[in-house]
Structure 1
Amino acid sequence: MNRKTLALPAVIGLVAPLIAACGGSDGGSDDTSLKVGTTDRISASAEAPAPLDPAYAYDVGSWNILRQSLQTLLVQPRGGGDPQPEAAEHCAFTDTGNERYSCTLRKDLKFADGGPVTADDVKYSVERVLRIDSESSVAGLLSTVDTVETRGDREVVFHLNSADATFPYKLSTPVAAIVDPDEYPEDRLLDGFSVHGSGPYTMEAQVEDGTLAKAVFTRNPNYRGSLDVRNGRAELVAFETAEAMGTAIAGGDIDVMSRTLTPDQVNELDAKPDDGIEVVEMSGLDIRYLAFDTDAPAVQNKAVRQAIAQIVDRNELVARVYGAQSEPLYSLVPASLPGHSNAFLNKYGEPSAAKAAKILDEAGISTPVPLDLHFTVDHYGSATAEEFDVLADQLNASGLFTVGDPKGAPWKEFRPASLKGKYEVWGMGWFPDFPDADNYLAPFLDKKNFLGSPYANSKVQQVLIPRSRREPDRMDAAPSLTEVQDIVAEDVPVLPLWQGKQYIAARDDVTGTAYALNSSSTLQLWELGKGVGSE
């Protein structure tokens, strides 16, 4: 088997493992060029004309573009742990209540065009996101920001409206990226595919039919930050299918396959130890779940949602579709994070059509209940279609639901439609903004949630989430987080399905693959190089 398994920590506060990048740091140079494949399809449309504006972008594909070309005050370390300074020289809470956070910028920060980066630019960038407050709900990550103050050219102070121990992590995400005020309008989104920042690369977009076909990253000579850039140029090439991406790496047209490899591809590459391509397996924190429009007539009664939760067999789903590459998940919070509880397993136990029938009967729901399932065909990998066929089969086999063929749509249509309430039940994935249980709960349950869901629970929003954020030691937040998960299992506004691992495949002359992805599924192109060496 030619697979490397890397157990990178996913828990806040753990020390980064002492794993050397593939081949060390001697393989990368200004003239090193790499081509990386992806199946992420980033499109501009009338419904979503600004896919790469940090005030709108809120999916892993778009963020992976922004992380290469925009700079944040803090960055999540290559191997895990607390955020570390990036554009900042130093950041810290300056009060005992976690309500005032100050950062001092590095000296001589510059945008890619050579213009200076100042504290006023940081203030502008954050306030712009909050002012625009786009329908993607990405501004919700900054919901605890009350005011932003600058002190001279290098110090910026965030005054929060409530305690938020997770705030440093939020500053490490692209929503808090520093943008050039001369390029980004103050009160509207920047349409198209341009990105203007101070990150490790500049980006040139090659667009075909409104979709990003290739993002060409060139090392930014004006970059000042903490990242060690190990190549001079990296091209991120979009493929329509994982199979086409696999053909490209086999033919030497690309050097690396990133997300998303199919389960079959991982198994096939493992079985070929001498083909010059290596699979790297890393711990992942991505999850898949069903979302419900709790105002839709078919699922408005929570008994219907509870019955679905009682029927779905996660073990069968994982075994039939993903095998050892994922595991059943019984909460929105992955099993490896502090604060996780098996809330759905505790409430529903093993799958049972008889128990589901009792739930529906006691609620006076006539059966079979007609139901439509929706999924995206090009955002989470080609196995998604098979996954939804299995879910439909399970619900139909119970005799309590009538589910037609699941309906698939490309992400550029799927995401706007879900936000506009056109689906009653749809499948989504979540790649964490940062590795903390809060980021698996608040985005779905807080005000202006990521799903555009009408579901709201006042205790969750007004008591439990704020209480959990007051705890600097995240283990101390577990009681509040557990109660939130119990409420989710009772009301079922979402239904967690499985937690995945993450993989890349690379030709054997590529170095740095150990850190090509971090635990939040961030693509770290700056880690990759070419050379001779081994881990």
Structure 2
Amino acid sequence: MNRKTLVLPAVLGLFTPVLVGCGEPGGGDRKGHAITVGTTDSFAATEHSPGPLDPAHAYDAGSWNLLRQTLQTLMTMERGGGEPVPEAAESCAFTDTGNERYECTLRDGLTFAGGEAVTATDVKYSIDRVLGIKSSSGVASLLNTIDTVETQGYKKVIFHLKTPDATFPFKLATPVAGIVHPEEYPRDRLREGFRVDGSGPYTLEAETKDGRLTKAVFTKNEKYQGRHTPKNGKVELRPFVDAGAMGAALDAGEIDLMTRTMSPEQIKKLSDGADEDVKLVETPGLEIRYLGFNTEAPGVRKKAVRQAMAQLVDRGALTSTVYGEMADPLYSLVPVTLPGHSSAFFNRYGAPSTDKARSILSKAGVTTPVKLTLHYTTDHYGPGTAKEFAVLKKQLNASGLFDVEVKGTEWKKFRAEELDGTYAVYGLGWFPDFPDADNFLAPFLDKGNFLALPYVNSAIRDDLIPRSRREADRTGASRSIEEIQDIVAEDVPVLPLWQGRQYVAARDDVQGAEWALDSSSNLQLWELSRGVSG
């Protein structure tokens, strides 16, 4: 039996797998065992984040992937991308010509896992709660176009928006709009710990130690009424400290599948056919990495310093040295596969140039070398991150214009300090909430943004973002989206670095691995089953 590498096409909405297993998938687990999935995501309850799985606070890809299995949303994304479709709702639509009134009617027979009926009042409670708590994570900003939520009877929910927002259906497909039980989730504070109570495809049992999640057990929710059809009865998600430990568990047969984040070395090894019993699946990805700037910090307050860094960073060398074929250089916050993308940073800065960077700093009266510390997280984005920042340090220091150090910090501390404005320069990744250019701009640049950036551009916030959201045909928003990208390239509040591909490695008896992640890196555990591959 030969190891298989599957490469799936990158056309959103036409996301068709190229492999069909030789055996019948079947809905049961082999010998009654759960399908076991490994991840390097970590989940911790801390003083800063006491409710890591509360949809009013959670705003990272790992936590959202747990919530997507357990909380139902009015809308959802099809397995191959495209436009959002009803999930807990039987229908949803704008009912005006200005994209300011959005109406949903719930499915019949919706219940929480405990058996209580899900009603329009529960939907309103869930949304109002997120907006009322307004967590420091910035997740509530996704719903900031909502003015009021109205209910009519027990099935109809009407959203009255402050401004037109054609992206609103996408937002209702994200966990921030997850429907929670009012008796389990306090109205004015976060629900602490790792319990999740919803009406989604699975129930969750969390095993913890010292405030950390050590295992998440997902059991099929027999009361679930929705669009997804779980192909298994139980899935276990196991966090690992690093990619090496996760890979060793796959080799030993302790897990059946591993997702984010594998190391470049692991992916090359699997691509070369090192294990005939494991298939590697490559799927289109919209993950991006970037540097963020606290534009009020002394070292980077002057725009010229940020522009000089943009002029010096060699993305091609960075990606080829660290990630090989796993990543491609990115010259905008908007990935190349989305409508509205423009290579704004390349258009402005061109090829890396020390002379041009020196001229930028000289004209602004900046004394060189500029001393900076680049901060990164050691345990959130995979083992390539440390090497990536070593390369960035080398590139900037080689110019003689910068004196850069790098410092790694554990995620739970890193994220809290970034939000508090402790770092002048820091590295982060972004896995989109939904596949639209708006979601690669507004979360960074709008009010209440994900990064808590002090940078404010009134043209972006007051004109360009609202204007782009008026366009129901998203290709019609491209002009406004491109203008935003040009402003970002000029002011450099963030510096995009690369766009990644995504990979899943699964043992041969696991079917559905090609659907385990969608283009936005959303985990779809309901697609997995046992079967026979040949």
**TM-score grouping bracket, smaller chain normalisation:** over 0.9
Equivalent residue, structure 2, for 1:451: 451
Q: Distance in 1 between matches of 2:300 and 2:15?
A: 44
The residue number in structure 2 matching 1:222 is: 223
1: CA distance between counterparts of 2:214 and 2:78?
29
Q: Distance in 2 between matches of 1:16 and 1:496?
A: 26
Counterparts in 2 of 1:21 and 1:226: CA distance versus 1, 3 Å? farther
Name 2:145's counterpart in structure 1: 144
Q: Which residue of 2 aligns with 1:387?
A: 388
Q: After superposition, where does 1:166-245 map in structure 2 within 5 Å? A: 166-245=167-246
After superposition, the C-alpha distances for 1:404-423 in whole angstroms (9 at most, x for unaligned) are 2x111111111000000000
2:9–2:15 Cα contact (<8 Å) kept? no
1:4 aligns with 2:36: no
What corresponds to 2:303 in structure 1?
A: 302
The CA deviation at 1:47 is 1.4
Distance 2:403 2:14 in 1: 50
Supply the AA of the counterpart residue of 1:184.
Y
- How many angstroms apart in 2 are the aligned matches of 1:25 and 1:293? 54
Give how far 1:511 is off: 0.3
For 1:478, give the aligned amino acid: S
Please show how residues 226-375 of structure 1 align to structure 2 within 5 Å. Answer: 226-272=227-273, 274-375=275-376
Q: Residues 395-406 of structure 1 correspond to what in structure 2 (within 5 A)?
A: 395-404=396-405, 406=406
Q: Is 1:461 aligned with 2:455?
A: no
- Decide which moves more: 104-113 or 27-36: 27-36
Equivalent residue for 1:122? 123
With normalisation by structure 1, the TM-score equals 0.97
Deviation at 1:210, TM superposition (A): 1.1
Write the deviation string for residues 171-227 of structure 1: whole angstroms up to 9, x where unpaired: 000000000001000010001111010000000111112111110000111111110
Partner of 1:504: 504
* C-alpha distance in 2 between matches for 1:23 and 1:490: 54
Question: What amino acid does structure 1 have at the position aligned with 2:11?
Answer: P
Residues 24-73 of structure 1: per-residue CA shift (max 9 Å, x gap): 87422375620000000011111111110000000000000000110001
Per-residue Cα deviation, 1:384-416 (whole angstroms, up to 9, x for no partner): 000000000001101000012x11111111100
SS in structure 2 at match of 1:123: helix
Q: Which amino acid aligns with 1:425?
A: V
Q: What is the aligned partner in structure 2 of residue 27 from structure 1?
A: 26
Measured in 2, the distance between the counterparts of 1:237 and 1:367 equals: 47
Tell me by how many angstroms 1:274 deviates: 4.9
Q: 1:17 deviation in Å?
A: 3.4
CA distance in 1 between partners of 2:457 and 2:516 (Å)? 38
Number of the residue aligned with 1:134: 135
Say which SS state the counterpart of residue 439 (structure 2) adopts: helix
Conserved 8 A contact 1:40-1:259: yes
Distance in 1 separating the partners of 2:417 and 2:36: 33
User: Aligned partners of 2:158, 2:137: CA distance in 1, in Å?
Assistant: 26
Q: 2:416 aligned with 1:416, yes or no?
A: yes
* 3-state SS of 1:191 partner: coil
Instruction: Using the TM superposition, give the Cα deviation of residue 9 of structure 1 relative to its aligned residue in structure 2, in angstroms.
Output: 2.8
TM-superposed CA distance for 1:23, in Å, is 6.1
* Overall identity of the aligned pairs, in %: 60
Once the 2 structures are TM-superposed, how far is the Cα of residue 357 of structure 1 from its aligned partner?
Answer: 0.4
Q: What is the alpha-carbon distance in structure 1 between the residues aligned to residue 105 and residue 14 of structure 2?
A: 24
- The match for 2:532 is 532
| Aligned partners of 2:508 and 2:533 also within 8 Å | no
Q: Equivalents in 2 of 1:73, 1:449: separation in Å? A: 24
Aligned to 2:439: 439
- Going from structure 1 to structure 2, the CA distance change for 1:21 and 1:62 (only over 3 Å counts) comes to farther
Q: Give the direction of change, closer, same or farther, for the CA distance of 1:375–1:425 in structure 2 (3 Å limit).
A: same
Q: For 1:72 and 1:57, how far apart are their aligned partners in 2?
A: 15
Following the alignment from structure 2 to structure 1, what is the Cα–Cα distance between the partners of residues 249 and 66? 21
Amino acid at match of 1:522: N
1:80 match: 81
Cα distance change, pair 484–8 in 1 and its aligned pair in 2 (3 A):
same
CA contact under 8 A between 2:217 and 2:235: conserved in structure 1?
yes
CA–CA distance in 2 between the matches of 1:371 and 1:519? 35
The answer to whether the Cα contact below 8 Å between 2:312 and 2:352 also exists between their aligned partners in 1 is yes
Deviation readout 1:126-184 (Å, 9 max, x if unpaired): 00000000000100000001000101000101010110000000000000000000100
- Which amino acid letter does the alignment assign opposite residue 523 of structure 1? L
Contact 1:239 1:245 in 2 (8 A): yes
TM-score under structure 2 length normalisation: 0.97
In 2, Cα distance between the equivalents of 1:498 and 1:25?
39
Matches of 1:291 and 1:327, distance apart in 2: 19
Which string of whole-angstrom CA distances, capped at 9 and with x for unpartnered residues, describes residues 289-311 of structure 1?
00000000000000000000000
Q: Is the CA contact (8 Å cut-off) linking 1:60 and 1:522 kept in structure 2?
A: yes
Q: Supply the AA of the counterpart residue of 1:5.
A: V
**Structure 1: where are the runs of 5+ without partners?**
none
| Contact residue 27 and residue 532 of structure 1 kept, 8 A | no
RMSD: 1.3
Native 8 Å contact 2:24 2:531 kept in 1: no
Contact 2:344–2:485 (Cα < 8 Å) also in 1: yes
Q: 1:486 to 1:362 in 2, by over 3 A?
A: same
In 1, Cα distance between the equivalents of 2:399 and 2:385? 22
Structure 1 pair 116/465, CA: closer, same or farther in 2 (3 Å)?
A: same
Once residues 152 and 32 of structure 1 are traced to their aligned partners in structure 2, the CA distance between those partners, rounded to angstroms, is 43
SS in 1 for 2:65: helix
Aligned equivalents of 2:35, 2:448: Cα separation in 1: 39
Q: What per-residue deviation string (whole Å, max 9, x for no partner) do you get for residues 46-105 of structure 1?
A: 111111000000000000000011000111110111111111101111111111111110
Q: CA separation in 1, counterparts of 2:17 and 2:315?
A: 35
| Alpha-carbon shift at residue 272 of structure 1 (Å) | 2.2
Alpha-carbon contact 2:17-2:514 (below 8 Å) kept: no
Alignment partners' CA distance in 2, 1:445 and 1:128 = 24
3-state SS in 1 of match to 2:82: coil
Amino acid at match of 2:474: R
Task: Answer whether contact 1:99 1:160 (CA < 8 A) is retained.
Answer: yes
Cα distance in 2 between the residues matched to 1:461 and 1:395: 32
CA shift, 1:270, in A, is: 1.5
